[in-house]
């Protein structure tokens, strides 16, 4: 598998399994600042975050998983919504904690696999702690106060950073990703576009409308199966301090 960086120029080609490729990918995906919030998402060309099996699994590839591992390694924590860990077969990252956001504390039916790696972190209101303990009794719990009955995105990110998680990568789902974008908290979107036209069963940011946010293309890599790997930098007008 060959990865070709086509933007910015000059063009550069990398053989996926060659010596030195992982180190080069770490350089290419390194965040621009120590405190950084990026979304890492995958979509079909037609805009669905789920493939034929109802999850993102059929949209991914070996190259996509390699880049996913690089992005995770460069983060302090991987953030995901509770609905995603119930719907997707999540494998616990080996190098950094997985943080799950839940307002209800109901993580029954979660599909988090793997016994290696740091303890799972759960971000929830204090009223949900007991429910979390019933399903993931060894989780490290970070509590966030409710505002009008919900956890504010800025409070979630601030709570994580207060616990030392400065560089954060969020892998969805659509609702959590949309909330972080609309709150002006996102620095960058790493978007994999799978070369498939599918029915849009799961819109990338959900179905709710939200104000436009300007982005600019910071990097584009294409592999020899026509999958695109883009880094979209959110321009300064679209961000707010966490």
Residue-level pLDDT at 242: 45
What domains are defined for the chain? 34-208+218-238 (3.40.430.10)
Tell me the whole-structure pTM to 2 decimals.
0.91
Neighbours of 192 (CB within 10 A): 23
Residue-level pLDDT at 115: 66
Tell whether omega for the bond before 236 is within 30 degrees of 0, i.e. cis. no
Q: 7 to each of 104, 219, 229, how far by Cα in Å?
A: 43, 5, 11
Residue-level pLDDT at 129: 94
- In the numeric block, the tokens 């799972």 are attached to 120
Q: Cα 51 to the chain's mean position, in Å?
A: 17
- pLDDT per residue rounded down to tens, the chain (242 residues): 999 999 999 999 999 999 999 999 999 999 999 999 999 999 999 999 988 887 788 898 999 999 999 999 999 999 999 888 887 777 788 889 999 999 988 887 776 876 677 889 999 999 999 999 988 888 899 999 988 888 999 999 999 999 999 999 999 889 999 999 999 999 999 999 999 998 988 899 999 989 999 999 999 999 999 999 999 999 865 555 44
The strand pairing partners of 25, in sequence order, are none
Residue-level pLDDT at 113: 73
* Reduced 3-state DSSP string for the chain: CEEEEEECCCCEEEECCCCCHHHHHHHHCCCCCCCEEEEEEEEECCCECCCCCCCHHHHCCHHHHHHHHHHHHCCCEEEEEHHHHHHCCEECCCCCCEEEECCCCCCCCCCEECCCCCCCEEEECHHHHHHHHHHCCCCEEEECCCECCECCHHHHHHHHHHCCCCEEEECCCHHHHHHHHHCCCCCEEEEEEECCCCCCCCECCCCCCCCCCCEEEEEEEEECCCCEEEEEEECHHHCCCC
Q: Cα 45 to the chain's mean position, in Å?
A: 19
Residue-level pLDDT at 29: 98
CA–CA gap between residue 203 and residue 34 (Å, rounded): 30
Residue-level pLDDT at 135: 85
């Amino acid at each position: 598998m060959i990865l070709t960086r086509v933007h910015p120029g000059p063009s550069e080609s990398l053989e996926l399994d060659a010596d030195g490729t992982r180190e080069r990918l770490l350089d290419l995906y390194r965040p621009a600042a120590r405190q950084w919030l990026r979304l890492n998402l995958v979509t079909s060309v037609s805009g669905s975050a789920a493939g034929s099996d109802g999850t993102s699994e059929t949209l991914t590839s070996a190259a996509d998983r390699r880049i996913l591992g690089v992005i995770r390694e460069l983060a302090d924590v991987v953030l995901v919504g509770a609905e995603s860990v119930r719907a997707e077969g999540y494998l616990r990252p080996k190098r950094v904690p997985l943080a799950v956001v839940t307002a209800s504390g109901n993580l029954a039916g979660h599909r988090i696999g793997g016994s290696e790696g740091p303890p799972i972190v759960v971000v929830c209101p204090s009223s949900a702690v007991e429910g979390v303990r019933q399903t993931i009794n060894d989780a490290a719990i970070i509590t966030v106060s409710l505002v009008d009955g919900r956890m504010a995105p800025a409070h979630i990110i601030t709570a994580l950073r207060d616990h030392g998680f400065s560089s954060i990568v969020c892998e969805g789902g659509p609702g959590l990703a949309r909330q972080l974008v609309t709150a002006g908290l996102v620095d960058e979107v790493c978007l994999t576009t799978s070369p498939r036209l599918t029915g849009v069963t799961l819109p990338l940011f959900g179905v709710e409308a939200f104000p436009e946010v300007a982005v600019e293309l910071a990097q584009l890599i294409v592999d020899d199966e026509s999958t695109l790997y883009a880094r979209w930098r959110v321009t300064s007008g679209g961000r707010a301090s966490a």
